[in-house]
Amino acid sequence: MDDAPPIPHAGVGFPPPLIYAAGLLIGWFIHRHWPLPLTAGASRMREIVAMIFMATWVVLMCWAFATFLRAHTTFLPNRPAAALVTNGPYHFTRNPMYVSFAALYIAITLLINSWWPVALLPGVFIAIRLAVVAREERYLASAFPSEYAAYCRQVHRWL
């Protein structure tokens, strides 16, 4: 039996989107010095695919945010959750906001037309997993032990 007090919140002391922004900025900076374009010149198809990813980001982020508002809980990882959200996009993935930021990252990568952010994306995913998601999962397991365990058995972390 564990007598440790419950964790008050996930303890993520920075906005998680900064990790995605850092990957994009580093990739863009490298691209400025050593260009490695996805396609030669302008590509209407690349722009259309980028807009599809951008729309995916908007829809998924708004849906996740609205779901949190309806549950009267916070989406900020440095505040305590009032409820475990398992409906809306959380019925399909435990991390729809981070999946949506990945869609935005891919959209921007396509728009800047560079392989460098693509090469950095696995590192971004690892940083999000270790610095953010692991802490959030530890907190949710502490705050909602049986409900979160059941939820994890039913819904994948990503997709």
pLDDT, tens only, 114-149: 999 999 999 999 999 999 999 999 999 999 999 999
Closest Cα partner for 6 from 158, 145, 146?
145
Q: How many domains does the chain fold into? A: 1
Confirm whether 37 is domain-assigned.
no
Confirm whether 104 is domain-assigned.
yes
pLDDT value of position 4:
65
Confirm whether 32 is domain-assigned.
no
**Structural tokens at position 27:** 């990739």
Closest Cα partner for 10 from 67, 65, 78?
78
Confirm whether 45 is domain-assigned.
no
What's the length of the chain? 159
Confirm whether 81 is domain-assigned.
yes
Confirm whether 72 is domain-assigned.
yes
Confirm whether 105 is domain-assigned.
yes
Question: Cα separation of 124 and 130, whole Å?
Answer: 10
pLDDT value of position 2:
56
Confirm whether 29 is domain-assigned.
no
- Dihedrals φ, ψ of 30, to 5°? -60, -40
Residues of the chain with pLDDT under 50: 1
99 is in which domain, residue-wise?
Answer: 54-154
Mean pLDDT score of the chain: 95
The residue written with tokens 């959209």 in the block is: 107
This model's pTM is above 0.85: yes
